[in-house]
Amino acid sequence: MRILVAPDKFKGSLTATQAATAITEGVLRVYPQAEVVNFPIADGGEGTLEAVYLAGFEKQQTTVTSPLGAVVEAEWALGDVGSRITAVIESTTASGLGLMQPSTPNALDAHSFGTGELISAALDAGVSEIIIGLGGSAMTDGGMGAIRALGLKVRDAFGHDIALGGGALSEAATVDSSEMDPRLQDVAIRLAVDVQNGLHGPGGAAHVYGPQKGADQDAVDLLDTGLQRWSTLLDQASGRQSNLPGAGAAGGFPAPFLAFTHATIESGYALVASLTGLTEQLASFDLVITGEGSMDAQSLQGKAPIALARAAAERGIAVIALAGRIMIDKQELALQGVSATAQILDLAQWTSGVPDAEDAMANAALYLRSAAAQTLAAGSAPLVKPRPGALLSETTKLPASTGAGGRVAS
C-alpha cells in the first residue's frame, strides 16, 4: 500500500514538513509495512517556497522594502521547469502581515513595494516565468506598491506622486505606464490565488480582509473607495478589466498586473502541485492523508487540502483529513472527497477534560501523530489489516463523538 501524506501548514504550530513527519509517524504505527511518501503542499500562500525547495528549486535572497518601509531580507526560489527558467515568489516574505503590527494606521499605510522588488530581481535573473503566491498579506493597496516598484507612475490631480499604501489610493488621478519595465511584457506572470474575492465592494479585499490587518470600519470604507477608484483608472488606462474573481487576493495585488501585463490568475494549489510533480504522481497512491490548522469555510474556496481531496477523489482514492479544528460538517467534506476526519483539538480536550486550544497548538505534533494512528486503526481506511494493538503508543484516544464538525467520521 502506498500512502501519500500531504498536509499544508498548521499555522502557528507546525510547518507543512513538520506536520507530514508527525502524520507519517502515526501511520507507520498502524501500517508499518506501508510505503509512505511525505509531500508537503501549499496553495500559493505561506509554505509555497518550502514546497518548491523540496522539489529542487534553489533558494534566493534579495534585500527589499517591508510593508511599512523597513529594510528586510526576502527569500524567493529559482528553478528549471521543462525548458523554462521559473521564479517562485511568496508575497508574504516581502509584504506579509507578519512584518507589521495590525492597526488602523498600518492598514492604511502598508504597501506591496517589496514584492515588486522581488519581481524585478527575478527579471534580472533572466526568467521566462514568474509565479507569485498570494496570501497572508499586510497591505490593501491594490498592488500599487508592487507595480510602482516596476515603473508605473501614479499621480494625484496636481501631478504629484501619491504616497504608497492603500489609504492614498483615493487620491489617485492618473496612471502612466510609459516607464514600466519593458521586460514585464516578455515573461509569463502566473498569480497563485486561493480565493475568489473581487477587488472592491462588500466581498472585496478591503471589506473581507481589511479588519484582519487592523482596519476599523472607517479605514475599510476608505480603502474600498480607493480600490474602486484604482480599478477605474487601471481599466481606462489599459483597456482591460482588473476586477476579476480572485483580484481581491493579497489586498488586491493582481489588479495592475491584470491591467498592464500578461498575468493570469490560477488556482494556487494546482500551480504548486504542477511545480512539485504532485499532479503526475497522485494516481499512484492508494490513500491520501492531508490536513491544515483550521479546516473551515475558506478551505472550500480552493485551499490546498480540499483541492487535493477533490483531485484524489476524481481518481478514486480515499482521503483522510486531519486538522487542528474542523468547522465543516462531515457531509460537506464527503462531497469534497474526504472519507474520514479527525481534529486534534478533540485530543487536547479529551486529555484535559476541557477544550484546550493552547495545549492543542503547543503539542500539535504529538496530537497529530495520535490522530493519524487512531483514525487508521479505527478502520476509516481499511486497505490492509492494522497491526494488532497498533492504536497509539500514547494512552490518548479520540472521543467517540462523530457529530457535525466531527471528528472521527467514516
Residues 160-192 pLDDT 10s: 999 999 999 999 999 999 999 999 999 999 999
CATH number of 56-269: 3.90.1510.10
More confident residue, 401 or 321: 321
pLDDT at residue 352, as a whole number: 63
To which CATH superfamily is domain 2-41+283-377 assigned? Glycerate kinase; domain 1 (3.40.50.10350)
pLDDT tens, position by position, 125-165:
999 999 999 989 999 999 999 999 999 999 999 999 999 99
pLDDT tens, position by position, 92-135:
999 999 999 999 999 999 999 999 999 999 999 999 999 999 98
Q: Smallest Cα–Cα separation from 306: which of 284, 334, 265, 286?
A: 334
pLDDT tens, position by position, 318-369:
999 999 999 999 999 999 999 999 998 888 766 666 667 888 888 999 999 9
Q: Smallest Cα–Cα separation from 79: which of 88, 71, 68, 69?
A: 88
The set of cell numbers assigned to 27 is 501511520
Quickly state the pLDDT bin for 250 (edges 50, 70, 90): very high
Q: Smallest Cα–Cα separation from 134: which of 126, 142, 124?
A: 142
Q: What is the percent of the chain where pLDDT is above 70?
A: 90
Mean pLDDT of 206-221: 97
Report the predicted TM-score, pTM, of the whole model to 2 decimal places.
0.86
Residue 391 DSSP symbol:
S
Domains 2-41+283-377 and 56-269 share a fold: no
pLDDT at residue 292, as a whole number: 96
What would the DSSP string read from start to end of 108-169? HH---HHHHHHHHHHHHTT-SEEEEE--SBS--STTHHHHHHTT-EEE-TTSPBPPSSGGGG
User: Is the per-residue pLDDT at 247 higher than 80?
Assistant: yes
The set of cell numbers assigned to 7 is 498536509
Where exactly are the structural domains of the chain? 2-41+283-377, 56-269
Quickly state the pLDDT bin for 82 (edges 50, 70, 90): confident
Q: Smallest Cα–Cα separation from 322: which of 381, 272, 388?
A: 381
C-alpha–C-alpha distance, residues 213 and 250, integer Å: 11
248 Cβ neighbours under 8 A, 6+ residues apart: 195, 197, 198, 199, 200, 203, 204, 205, 208, 209
Residue 65 exposed, middle or buried by CB count within 10 Å (0-12, 13-18, 19+): buried
Residue 363 exposed, middle or buried by CB count within 10 Å (0-12, 13-18, 19+): middle
User: Is the per-residue pLDDT at 405 higher than 60?
Assistant: no
Find the helix packing angle between 364-377 and 16-30, rounded to 10°.
Answer: 40
User: Is the per-residue pLDDT at 396 higher than 80?
Assistant: no
